[in-house]
Structure 1
Amino acid sequence: MAGPTTTAAQRGARRTNGTSSARSRPSRPGPRGGRTRLPSPRTVLVVLAALALVASTVWVLYGSKWLRVRDVTVSGTRVLAPARVEAVAAVPLGSPLASVDTDAIAERLRRELPRIDSVDVVRSWPDGIALEVTERKPVLLLEQGTKFVEVDRKGVRFATVDRQPRGVPLLRLTADQSPSLRRFDTERLIREAVGVAGELPAAVARDTRIVGVRSYDSITLELTRNRTVVWGSGEAGEAKARALTALMKASPKAGHFDVSAPTAPAASRS
């Protein structure tokens, strides 16, 4: 009885060992599992063509002699000399047009030429830079000795000139003793006067010689033919402009107009 039992046990052990060996063997990859697919020739050609296109574009823009700055044009100037604008711009002639720092040129122009209100620096392909300038326009003048300081619609003092530009009124500030200076400084009063000048009807603006400011709410106009206008504060400017236009049409021979209260304007001969 002992013999068959031992034999059966040995067969069972062999089966068990065989199973363990089979489980411990590393699995072989399938016929497709470990194979790396290479790109097709068509894909390789497309990639190479794209790289060649990028390289040629970069070379044309930055390395070739065809797209380099050769010409600078200036437009929009009325007082400034175009040659002066071009000199301050300092556009790097001969440099690749694509590499020109247009923002830096614009900033330099605005900083060194305060008369410039805005400027567009435009690449003009294939080889030009265009400087499109907008100059500040004076709406009032401040006397400074024998010269005049120009003030634009934003209240910016941007230039000093020897002669009074035609059609630009003087600003006369007499607010030294005004209590309003405690609340509104000189710069604020100048801005108020600028605002009034901007609200004037065109016909009145042409005839205005002096804008007087005694305080925040006491602004007057001196016109041609010894006419005066009491404007009051800078508030309700559009309504005051309409009232003044109507008064001048209704009383063309009047010499004094008061629109400080635009709902109750008044006109008189003196």
Structure 2
Amino acid sequence: MAEKPSRPERREARRTLRTQRRFSRRQWRRRWLQWKPLVIVVGVLAVAAVAVWLVWFSSVLAVKSVVVTGTSAISQRDVRDAAAIESGSPLVSVGLDKVHDRVAALAAVESVTVTRRWPDQVVIAVTERTPIAVIDLGGRLRGLDKDGVVFLSYKKAPANLPKVVSPAGTDARALREAAQVVRSLPPELAKITDHVEVATVDEVSLALTKDRTVQWGSSADSEQKAEVLAALLKHPAKVYDVSVPGQPTTK
């Protein structure tokens, strides 16, 4: 029968075990310090690889819907068609500037903002042009905004919008002048204006009720022209010329 270790032997055995454990821990720490940079690099690369896969290749961050806001005169479908965003493409790859330019090219769009909404949406916020007049271009009724941009189409002219008449082919600058004249008319003058006619930048005229005509010229000094015309209308005439407001004439 084996002899039982004495107390001093047991203490020595425990000290030896503790020493071995401390040595093992020091060895493990030294190895960890040697391998730690490599482990960190591998971890970073793994995280980066997962991130690249999620952003560029997985369906998690792919375009699932295009949200359109702010439309009434134009349809959301028309905006989406113009945006031409492919469903399922990586959200990060959507060229927001190109989408902006394509949607902004729609005649009825005054401004547009395009943003990403993570994880899977593109948001297109549209501000539509507001018609200030209806223009007859070659027999077609169109909306005219404050900048003279022609957009929309009407089968029948809205009763609440003034009318602008212009020959086909009138350039954009002339239409802008007509729009500025329409905006400048005071309410009392607008009430007696049947329509505004525009041929060129300097040839804008008002067709008033009672078969009267006002030669307005360009949109320059419109406020002064309106004041001069108000005084002239007190005297019956068929033609009022306020194109040079300092030297008005009547016929």
TM range (shorter): 0.5 to 0.7
What is aligned with 2:73?
Answer: 79
Per the TM alignment, residue 211 of structure 1 is displaced from its structure 2 partner at its CA by 0.8
> Is contact 1:69-1:127 (8 Å) kept?
yes
**2:149 paired residue among 147, 156, 160:** 156
Per the TM alignment, residue 57 of structure 1 is displaced from its structure 2 partner at its CA by 1.9
RMSD between superposed Cα atoms in Å: 4.0
Letter in 2 for 1:135: E
Query: C-alpha separation between the residues in 2 aligned to 1:214 and 1:99?
Result: 47
Letter in 2 for 1:162: K
Local SS of the residue matching 1:51: helix
> Is contact 2:137-2:166 (8 Å) kept?
no
Per the TM alignment, residue 215 of structure 1 is displaced from its structure 2 partner at its CA by 6.2
Per the TM alignment, residue 154 of structure 1 is displaced from its structure 2 partner at its CA by 3.3
Tell me the matched-pair count. Answer: 215
Letter in 2 for 1:231: W
* Aligned CA distance change for structure 1 residues 145 and 238 (closer, same or farther; 3 Å): closer
1:58-97 superposed matches below 5 A: 58-97=52-91
* Aligned CA distance change for structure 1 residues 44 and 204 (closer, same or farther; 3 Å): farther
What is aligned with 2:196?
Answer: 211
**1:169 paired residue among 162, 166, 170:** 162
Local SS of the residue matching 1:149: strand
Query: C-alpha separation between the residues in 2 aligned to 1:129 and 1:145?
Result: 39
Q: Deviations over 1:26-80 (max 9, x none)?
A: xxxxxxxxxxxxx965544443343333222212212333222222221111211
Q: Give the TM-score normalised by structure 2.
A: 0.63
- More deviation, 252-261/204-213: 252-261
| Unaligned 5+ runs, structure 2 | 1-32
> Is contact 1:146-1:162 (8 Å) kept?
no
* Aligned CA distance change for structure 1 residues 145 and 232 (closer, same or farther; 3 Å): closer
**1:137 paired residue among 105, 130, 133:** 130
Local SS of the residue matching 1:95: coil
Local SS of the residue matching 2:136: strand
Local SS of the residue matching 1:191: helix
* Aligned CA distance change for structure 1 residues 214 and 135 (closer, same or farther; 3 Å): closer
Q: Which structure has the bigger radius of gyration?
A: 1
- More deviation, 57-66/222-231: 222-231
1:18-33 superposed matches below 5 A: none
Query: C-alpha separation between the residues in 1 aligned to 2:188 and 2:70?
Result: 26
Local SS of the residue matching 1:231: strand
Local SS of the residue matching 2:66: strand
What is aligned with 1:51?
Answer: 45
> Is contact 1:227-1:255 (8 Å) kept?
no
Letter in 2 for 1:196: V
What is aligned with 2:219?
Answer: 234
Q: Does 1:123 align with 2:108?
A: no
- More deviation, 207-216/53-62: 207-216
> Is contact 2:66-2:121 (8 Å) kept?
yes
Per the TM alignment, residue 227 of structure 1 is displaced from its structure 2 partner at its CA by 7.7
Identical positions, percent: 36
**2:205 paired residue among 203, 213, 220:** 220
Letter in 2 for 1:200: L
Query: C-alpha separation between the residues in 1 aligned to 2:202 and 2:47?
Result: 69
Query: C-alpha separation between the residues in 2 aligned to 1:40 and 1:240?
Result: 88
Local SS of the residue matching 1:91: coil
* Aligned CA distance change for structure 1 residues 57 and 230 (closer, same or farther; 3 Å): same
Q: Give the TM-score normalised by structure 1.
A: 0.59
> Is contact 2:64-2:88 (8 Å) kept?
yes
> Is contact 1:147-1:163 (8 Å) kept?
no
Per the TM alignment, residue 125 of structure 1 is displaced from its structure 2 partner at its CA by 1.4
